[in-house]
Structures are given as C-alpha cells and as structure tokens.
Amino acid sequence: MRIVSNSSVIIGLSAINKFHLLQKLYRNIIIPEAVYKEIVIDGKGCPGEVELDKAIKEKWINIIKVKNQLSVETLLQNFGRGEAEAIILAREQKADFVLIDESLAREKAFLLGLKVKGIIGILLFAKANGINMYCVKIFKPFG
C-alpha cells in the first residue's frame, strides 16, 4: 500500500500521542520534502518533530522529491507548500491514499482522483482493525 502524508496528520496524531498508529496501520509512508521541512526544521520543539525524525531514521517514513514542480506551483495559489507537494506526490506515486486534514486540500485531492483520509478516518480505521487506542495511566495517591 502506498500512502503519502501531509504535515497536519503527522502533527495531529503526534499531539494526541497516536503517531504510532501510522506505522501499525500502513507500515510505510511517503512524505514530500516540504512536509519534512515544515515539521522537523521549521517545527522544532513542536508536536511531530521528534516522532517524524525518528520514523525517518527507522526508515518506515521516506522523503521523496516531487518531480512536477509546475503542478506544485499551480496549487500554491490556494494551498501551503506541504499540502501542494503531498497532493502532487500522491498522484506521481499512484498512492492508495493521501493523508490530509484540511478540507479544501482534501477536496482538491479528491477532485484529482485521489483517495483521502484524515485523523478521524485513521482513528476509525485503527478501531475497526482492533488496535487498542486507550492509554492507561496509573496515578499514585497523594500522601
């Protein structure tokens, strides 16, 4: 299965401590260079930075350069670079899904013939596949 991700899904799942679902559900994910830059370089200290950097080192997330820069430039009129590159990369890679949360970007991806999933879809897919999504914390009583 070929999956391309935008920044929003990686950041959002990291923020709620569910980033690990990406590896459990999809095994391998592709991101464009702009997504790496947004999360790891520009997003130092923010949710997703450490998780994405580690996933790249573990080689289950790979960075691929978008070939059709003209199409990316066209999409930049309405979208951020990460969204534009993710949509075009998903088309170039003939991805099974592109992971995007922003509604206008999702709509554009769908109009370009791509299947789209966001954070809610990923959480529902994980639940449907029997992945435990609960975090049990044990607290010590005071005193």
10-residue averages of pLDDT along the chain (143 residues): 96 94 95 98 95 98 98 96 98 97 96 96 91 55 45
pTM of the model: 0.89
Tokens linked to 133: 């999504």
Tokens linked to 130: 């029997």
> What pLDDT is recorded for position 132?
73
> What pLDDT is recorded for position 131?
84
- Write b or e for each residue in 51-77: b if 16 or more Cβ atoms lie within 10 A of its Cβ, otherwise e: bbeebeeeeebebeebeeeebbeebee
Closest residue by Cα to residue 13 from 2, 1, 130, 26:
26
Token pair 């790979």 is found at 62
Tokens linked to 6: 């935008």
> What pLDDT is recorded for position 130?
87
Classify the C-alpha dihedral 90-56-125-17 as positive or negative. Answer: negative
